[in-house]
Amino acid sequence: MRTGSISCDGGCLSLRLSTGRREGTGPMAPRRVVPECPLAAGRVCPGRRRDVKRCGRVWHPGCDCRPGSRPCVVPYPTNKTFRPMHVLTTIGPDNSTKAVLPFIAGKGALSRGGSVALFAMQEATYLGAPSHVDLTELKAPGLPTVQAVLETLRTEDALDEFVVCKPCAEARGIQAADLAPWATFGGADDLARQAAGHDTTMTF
């Protein structure tokens, strides 16, 4: 037989289990106690920031905390202003299914009131040179074309910058005159600058 009890401390659920035979049929097996979170009693559980931000619940891998009925910890306000998104892409027109994804990510930032800064390297440098590729033909099943998403980002002023790696582009015959009005040449220093100005970098 297995019996158990659930207690709630600070929003964390801690489960205690004991196993053994029914009373009167034999000695009880040694009781096994699932350790509690050392910070649960009257204090907060250091759950992962990502989980707390998403749903107000925690899952602390170091103990037996479980999703609680209320947040154990709120490390920052939930109405925090959405920071600009940084995207590094290397996928070019030879893979149209994936080439549109960085721009879709930027559209997601727009839906949260944010913006996006992109850095294109390798084959993705073609995306900044419409004279080399037709952006209206690049799309993935169920998603809009690269051109359509770009127009949305530009119309809503959500495209902070689109930097094309100059050495990568020149190696592919792309010159400054080939770049779109919304694209500029840049180098490793620009990539570092963009990364330093954002919390995270998404790569495609």
Q: Given 64, 79, 94, which residue is the final one in a domain?
A: 79
User: Could you tell me the pLDDT band of residue 179, with boundaries at 50, 70 and 90?
Assistant: very high
Q: Given 30, 51, 79, which residue is the final one in a domain?
A: 79
Contacts of 29 (CB under 8 A, 6+ apart): 18, 19, 20, 21
Express as a percent the part of the chain with pLDDT over 90: 40
pLDDT at 102: 92
Instruction: Give the C-alpha separation, 154 to 119, whole Å.
Output: 16
Residues 44 and 98 in one domain: no
Residues 105 and 198 in one domain: yes
Q: Residue 129 pLDDT more than 90?
A: yes
User: Could you tell me the pLDDT band of residue 170, with boundaries at 50, 70 and 90?
Assistant: very high
Q: Given 50, 79, 108, which residue is the final one in a domain?
A: 79
Residues 97 and 60 in one domain: no
Tens digits of per-residue pLDDT, 79-121? 445 568 899 999 999 998 899 999 999 998 888 888 899 999 9
pLDDT at 164: 96
Cβ atoms within 10 Å, residue 197: 12
Q: How far is CA 94 from CA 6, 91, 101, 182, in A?
A: 56, 8, 14, 22
| Domain encompassing residue 37 | 1-79
Instruction: Give the C-alpha separation, 143 to 145, whole Å.
Output: 7
Residues 107 and 71 in one domain: no
CB 44 within 8 A of CB 10: yes
